[in-house]
């Protein structure tokens, strides 16, 4: 289990235990973190699991892949550390990861 | 008393989660006739069939349901709804009382009932168990005949072809994807499959199957096509029988209002089985789509909790074939004009559909930015000069009202 903290746009925090081998999106959905819709189920097809990774953590998530880059390119809420969290695997190295949620999913 | 959900698909899982998010502490009972907790059905004909198990199939871990006091009764078929007594009777006779009921019974594969259709080796693709059986039967070099050139058939064709099978797709209409897209998109996908080695036969209806116990030939009038296995994907039928037998109004699905309420009090319906009004499109429709099921489930949960929420979303869909991701917004048939952006020969383009100058649909092939643009700009009037230039972002072409 790996501890991940989701911070809503209004500052409310959700600290969850995520199972290694799943995705950060799975951890959010399993723990009723509001604001992660994840409609496509993790196929990188819908961009409804957008998060901002804490700056110090961003490199450890491996950075965005091409599919994410393309689908987020039009998102007005896009920031430098944006990720689609269905594309971020949960590993031991992620212990303590902090991600913030945008106010709206696209 | 409990909130009872009939069906254990996307809508059911989302409704349970949303009810807890909305603050409900009432018991929730999910009655599903499959042996599984809610899973992602779109993955079945895509990653899961292909054997890529990167994405998790189950929408939520089993522990989620126990932790959240959601009673998950799998292998449990609901047999009768009594809206006056507010009860559901399940197989075996047990009667469960509900405070509110969500009918999320989804849909089932349309079955062929022709000569030889009960032979072995003929598969349908709707459930996880269906796909496990198909995966077991698939092997490189084997001949697979796919009946139906819709999204399911073509997704299966791409996986089978990639796995080195000999693939034939039979389509009764004069083009594949005839029900869901334009002749141009049909031609593009026909060409895509043909170029990869799939035999696509249009205007080819199936008249029967032959074989001793197991199918060996598919008959199409006078022609006969060899087959080691057959996969039939000819559409789905909404599961409305429970509702209609209970006297709940149905018309191409269970009739619901913008709050997903059926004609019976305290009874809601969501997902593939629900015929709902869409205020953005200005008409009623029944959608076979995951985002629709999830969004309606959220609306149901909010309304059960007294939050008065209505459903209004632009429909969107996706289909993965080979290395092409098709993402669609709206319905191309709503347009009066179409504009192609990008290069079809590079398998990277989008088709925008406009009605009276306003964007009403997008088909985006490996162009997720145009898909997202379509979701964001639906209904907006666009400057048609420059629309065909993929280097100009869609948002820069919006005309002020």
ipTM rounded to 2 decimals: 0.89
Q: Quick check: B151 contacting A, CB < 8 Å?
A: no
Residues B362-372 have a mean pLDDT of 93
Predicted confidence at residue A73, as pLDDT, reads 78
Q: Given pLDDT bands bounded at 50, 70 and 90, which one contains residue B41? A: very high
Question: What is the CATH code of the structural domain delimited by B323-397?
Answer: 3.30.390.30
Predicted confidence at residue A104, as pLDDT, reads 82
Identify from B290, B372, B374, B393 which residue to disrupt to test chain A contact, counting A C-beta atoms within 10 A and taking the largest count.
Answer: B372
Q: Quick check: B188 contacting A, CB < 8 Å?
A: no
Residue B48: closest C-alpha in chain A:
A43
Nearest partner of A5 among A33, A37, A38, judged by Cα: A33
Q: Quick check: A42 contacting B, CB < 8 Å?
A: yes
Q: Rounded to an integer, what distance in angstroms lies between the CA atom of residue B188 and that of residue B364?
A: 12
Q: Rounded to an integer, what distance in angstroms lies between the CA atom of residue B313 and that of residue B331?
A: 13
Q: Is the per-residue pLDDT at B44 higher than 80?
A: yes
Q: Is the per-residue pLDDT at B55 higher than 70?
A: no
Q: Rounded to an integer, what distance in angstroms lies between the CA atom of residue B122 and that of residue B231?
A: 6
Q: Rounded to an integer, what distance in angstroms lies between the CA atom of residue B180 and that of residue B192?
A: 17
Q: Does residue A105 lie within any of the structural domains?
A: no
Cβ–Cβ below 8 Å for A43 and B60: no
Instruction: Please check whether residue B60 is in contact with residue A30, taking contact to mean a CB–CB distance below 8 angstroms.
Output: yes
Nearest partner of B169 among B199, B139, B137, judged by Cα: B199
Residues B359-376 have a mean pLDDT of 93
Predicted confidence at residue A66, as pLDDT, reads 85
Residue A22: closest C-alpha in chain B:
B56
Q: Rounded to an integer, what distance in angstroms lies between the CA atom of residue B235 and that of residue B110?
A: 6
Q: Is the per-residue pLDDT at A82 higher than 90?
A: yes
Predicted confidence at residue B258, as pLDDT, reads 98
Tens of pLDDT, residue by residue over B156-205, are: 999 999 999 999 999 999 999 999 999 999 999 999 999 999 999 999 99
Predicted confidence at residue B56, as pLDDT, reads 82
- Return mean pLDDT, chain A: 90
Per-domain residue ranges of chain B: 2-108+237-304, 111-232, 323-397
Contacts of A67 in chain B (CB under 8 A): 325, 368
Q: Where are the beta strands (DSSP E) in B83-188?
A: 87-90, 95-103, 107-109, 122-124, 143-147, 166-170
Predicted confidence at residue B54, as pLDDT, reads 62
Q: Is the per-residue pLDDT at B395 higher than 90?
A: no
Q: Is the per-residue pLDDT at A62 higher than 90?
A: no
Q: Is the per-residue pLDDT at B140 higher than 80?
A: yes
Assigned token pair, A68? 């994410």
Q: Rounded to an integer, what distance in angstroms lies between the CA atom of residue B191 and that of residue B174?
A: 14
Q: Measured on CA atoms in the order B39, B325, B202, B286, is the torsion positive or negative? A: positive
Question: What is the CATH code of the structural domain delimited by B111-232?
Answer: 3.50.50.60
Q: Do domains B2-108+237-304 and B323-397 have the same CATH topology?
A: no
Predicted confidence at residue B369, as pLDDT, reads 87
Identify from A20, A23, A74 which residue to disrupt to test chain B contact, counting B C-beta atoms within 10 A and taking the largest count.
Answer: A74
CATH code for the domain in which residue A65 is found: 3.10.20.30
Predicted confidence at residue A70, as pLDDT, reads 81
Q: Is the per-residue pLDDT at B53 higher than 90?
A: no
Q: Is the per-residue pLDDT at B401 higher than 80?
A: no
Tens of pLDDT, residue by residue over B310-361, are: 999 999 999 999 999 999 999 999 999 999 999 999 999 999 999 999 999 9
**Domain tally, chain A:** 1
Tens of pLDDT, residue by residue over B120-132, are: 999 999 999 999 9
Assigned token pair, B267? 């009874």
Residues A73-100 have a mean pLDDT of 91
Residue span of the structural domain in which A86 resides: 2-100
A17-31, A36-50, B229-243 — which is least confidently predicted? Answer: A36-50
Q: Is the per-residue pLDDT at A69 higher than 90?
A: no
Cβ–Cβ below 8 Å for A29 and B59: yes
Nearest partner of B315 among B331, B300, B327, judged by Cα: B331
Q: Does residue A106 lie within any of the structural domains?
A: no
- Return mean pLDDT, chain B: 96
Contacts of B20 in chain A (CB under 8 A): 32
Contacts of A82 in chain B (CB under 8 A): none
Q: Rounded to an integer, what distance in angstroms lies between the CA atom of residue A59 and that of residue B93?
A: 57
B2-108+237-304 is classed CATH 3.30.470.20 = no
Predicted confidence at residue B314, as pLDDT, reads 96
Nearest partner of A47 among B369, B155, B297, judged by Cα: B369
């Amino acid at each position: 289990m790996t501890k991940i903290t989701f911070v809503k746009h209004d500052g409310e925090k959700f600290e969850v235990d995520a199972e290694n081998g799943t995705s950060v999106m799975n951890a959010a959905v399993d723990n009723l973190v509001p604001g992660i819709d994840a409609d496509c189920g993790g196929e990188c097809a819908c961009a409804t699991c957008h998060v901002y990774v804490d700056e110090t953590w961003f490199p450890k998530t491996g950075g965005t892949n091409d599919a994410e880059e393309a689908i987020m390119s039009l998102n007005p809420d896009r920031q430098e550390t944006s990720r689609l969290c269905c594309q971020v695997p949960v590993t031991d190295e992620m212990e303590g990861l902090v991600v913030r949620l945008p106010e709206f999913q696209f | 008393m409990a909130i009872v959900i009939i069906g254990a698909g996307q809508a059911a899982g989302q409704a349970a989660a949303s009810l807890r998010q909305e603050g409900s502490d009432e018991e929730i009972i999910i009655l599903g006739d499959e042996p599984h907790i809610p899973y992602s059905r779109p993955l079945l004909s895509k990653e899961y069939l292909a054997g890529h198990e990167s994405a998790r199939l189950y929408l939520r871990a089993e522990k989620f349901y126990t932790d959240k006091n959601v009673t998950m009764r799998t292998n449990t078929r609901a047999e009768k709804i009594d809206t006056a007594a507010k009860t559901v009777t399940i197989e075996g006779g047990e009667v469960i009382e509900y405070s509110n009921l969500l009918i999320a019974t989804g849909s089932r594969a349309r079955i062929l009932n022709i000569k030889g259709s009960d032979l072995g080796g003929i598969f349908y693709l709707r459930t996880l168990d269906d796909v496990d059986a198909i995966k077991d039967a698939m092997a490189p070099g084997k001949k697979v005949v796919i009946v139906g050139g819709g999204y399911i058939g073509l997704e299966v064709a791409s996986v089978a072809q990639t796995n080195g099978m000999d693939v034939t797709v039979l389509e009764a209409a004069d083009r594949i994807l005839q029900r869901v897209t334009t002749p141009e998109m049909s031609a593009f996908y026909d060409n895509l499959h043909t170029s990869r080695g799939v035999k696509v036969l249009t205007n080819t209806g199936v008249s029967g199957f032959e074989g001793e116990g197991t199918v060996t030939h598919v008959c199409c009038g006078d022609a006969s096509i060899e087959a080691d296995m057959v996969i039939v994907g000819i559409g789905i039928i909404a599961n409305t029988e429970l509702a209609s037998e209970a006297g709940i109004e149905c018309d191409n699905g269970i009739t619901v209002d913008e709050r997903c309420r059926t004609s019976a009090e305290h009874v809601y319906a969501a997902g593939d089985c629900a015929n709902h009004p869409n205020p953005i499109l200005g008409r009623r429709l029944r959608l076979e789509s995951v985002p629709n099921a999830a969004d309606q489930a959220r609306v149901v949960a909010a309304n059960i909790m007294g939050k008065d929420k209505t459903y209004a979303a632009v429909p969107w869909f996706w289909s993965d074939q080979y290395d092409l991701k098709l993402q669609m917004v709206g319905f191309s048939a709503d347009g009066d004009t179409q504009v192609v952006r990008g290069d079809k020969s590079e398998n990277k383009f989008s088709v925008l559909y406009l009605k009276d100058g306003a964007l009403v649909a997008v088909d985006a092939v490996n162009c997720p930015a145009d898909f997202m643009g379509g979701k964001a700009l639906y209904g907006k009037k666009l400057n048609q000069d420059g629309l065909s230039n993929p280097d100009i972002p869609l948002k820069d072409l919006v005309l002020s009202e």
